[in-house]
Amino acid sequence: MEVTLNVNGSAHPLRLDARVTLLDALRDHLGLTGAKKGCDQGACGACTVLLDGRRVVACLTLAAQCEEREVTTIEALSEEGTPHPVQAAFARHDAFQCGYCTPGQIMSAVALLAEGRAGSEEEIREFMSGNLCRCGAYPNIRKAIRDVAEEG
């Protein structure tokens, strides 16, 4: 089927099998490999992207469902080489080890901050609970998010 994906401000007409997920369309058809494939079952959050500004797990979202909607991936966050404040805070706080979960964590954190859900450690813990980190970088991830929330 013909699908036009609007990703990071650009329209991409694609011809895809109706079963192709947004994650595979991004990674395999558009070369946007920032969103990672962890579990491919909606359980880890490594593939988190924004769909019309709301976080979704791209491995459980069909590309065909995204027609006429705006997809934002980690590739769109930095501006002219300047990291997004959340990216900078993750670097500052060493909020990763292997880095595999990091793009998903950052996209989720960007949405969580926009949702106004970073009011406390507990709130961040709860609203980031869909993003798993096998390296256990959680304390520093929360510190990075708190930092950005406090900076406003």
Residues that bind ligand FES (CB under 6 A): 37-40, 42-47, 57, 59, 96-102, 133-135, 137
Instruction: Report, in Å, the least distance between residue 80 CB and ligand FES.
Output: 27
111: left (phi over 0), alpha (psi -120 to 50) or beta: alpha
- Smallest separation (angstroms) from ligand FES to the CB of 41: 6
Nearer Cβ to ligand FES (6/97): 97
SS3 (DSSP) at 49:
strand
When the beta carbons of 91 and 135 are compared against ligand FES, the nearer one is 135
Q: Closer CB to ligand FES, residue 64 or residue 128?
A: 128
**Cα of 99 vs its chain's centroid, Å:** 13
User: Which residue's CB is nearer to ligand FES, number 119 or number 139?
Assistant: 139
